[in-house]
Amino acid sequence: MRALLVVNPAATTTSARTRDVLIHALASEMKLEAVTTEYRGHARDLGRRAADSDDIELVVALGGDGTVNEVVNGLLHNGPDPDHLPRLAVVPGGSTNVFARALGLPNDAVEATGAILDALRDQTERTVGLGLAAGTPGTEDEGVPARWFTFCAGLGFDASVIGRVEQQRERGKRSTHALYMRQVVRQFLDEPHRRRGPITLERPGEDPVSNLVLSIICNTTPWTYLGNRPVYASPEASFDTALDVVALSKLSTPAVARYATQLLTSTPERGPRGKHAVTLHDLTDFTLNSKVPLPFQMDGDHLGLRTSVTFTGVRRALRVIV
């Protein structure tokens, strides 16, 4: 088997020595080409190269969720074709690694590599669904190119938090769960749309849902992790279905306290609920429109401001080694 290993040298939880060990372990089982990313978007370019090749059967992404997202977008640059595109394997190297953990892989890079090698020997894989987000035709965002996401996207509050975290990281702060929690509090205090949100969710054949202040789109569950604790925003979300949405129409202090508690105590059977919570399951097509430009994120990567985003849930998009 010929494989391409995409290595993010800035992966927060792996050292250069660990990465060398993992490369040798993988190379012992396959004809491996290892490439270290050198710029933002490099992993996407490498994924695209693999998709266009005639002999690469597997792409291994060693890094965090951002690296995985880039590789996936490269692999699917001409659209999903799970029966012919190279398969994907993920070695977690980031601070959270939601996609890898949601697939059931260990959160340790060495253990995950062992699990991937076992899966290759046993020829075990699964085809997963993914989400696609694009600028909405007829709006000022219609020129925004479509982009795939593996586990979540968000318009509004959660994307604002991610933007704040990225600003702190650019200033030299480490990406920790404590950093995220501090930015959640600061965003809540500064949030201008707490009592009446500007977001409207529209889907074919249904009445629009308006005045949303927070909207999270989930492609799987858990939504994220706080350390080893999984957080279930949309417990029914799955790689085997289309997209789930959880949205809130109010972020008053009592409402935030209630929904934060529900998230922290969420389970695979029970997530956020209440009169200000909207939960929708297995959506293939819908649009989020905002009266004002709002921050937008995909797979934990802040992508700037948007006023309208159209989402598509694709149930069979990519083969993954598990």
pLDDT tens by residue, 81-137:
999 999 999 999 998 999 999 999 999 999 999 999 999 999 999 999 999 999 999
* H helices, E strands: number in the chain: 8, 16
DSSP 48-102: HHHHH-SS--EEEEEE-HHHHHHHHHHHTTT---TTTSPEEEEEE-SSS-HHHHH
**Average of per-residue pLDDT values in the chain:** 94
- Over residues 4-18, the mean pLDDT reads 91
Q: How confident is the model at residue 231 (pLDDT cuts 50, 70, 90)?
A: very high
pLDDT score recorded for residue 244: 98
pLDDT score recorded for residue 246: 97
**Is 176 a residue whose pLDDT tops 90?**
no
Tell me the CA distances in angstroms from 166 to 42, 160, 213, 314, one per residue in order: 19, 10, 21, 29
pLDDT score recorded for residue 186: 86
pLDDT score recorded for residue 177: 72
**Is 169 a residue whose pLDDT tops 80?**
no
Tell me the CA distances in angstroms from 173 to 166, 178, 179, one per residue in order: 9, 11, 8
**Is 316 a residue whose pLDDT tops 80?**
yes
| CA-based radius of gyration for the chain | 19
pLDDT score recorded for residue 283: 98
Q: Which of 15-24, 192-201, 270-279 has the lowest mean pLDDT?
A: 192-201
Q: How confident is the model at residue 171 (pLDDT cuts 50, 70, 90)?
A: confident
- Over residues 203-227, the mean pLDDT reads 95
pLDDT score recorded for residue 204: 95
